[in-house]
Amino acid sequence: MLAIVIYALMSWFPNAYGTAFGRFLGRIVEPFERLFNFASVGMISFAPVVALIVLSLVQGGITYLGNLIIGYGYGY
- Main-chain dihedrals φ then ψ at residue 14, nearest 5 degrees: -60, 135
> What is the rounded distance in angstroms from the CA atom of residue 23 to the CA atom of residue 52?
20
Q: Which residue has the higher pLDDT, 75 or 53?
A: 53
Contact in structure between 40 and 47 (CB atoms under 8 Å):
yes
pLDDT digits (tens, 9 = 90+) for 30-74: 999 989 888 778 888 888 999 999 999 999 999 998 888 887 765
SS3 40: strand
pLDDT digits (tens, 9 = 90+) for 36-48: 888 778 888 888 9
Q: What is the pTM of this model?
A: 0.77
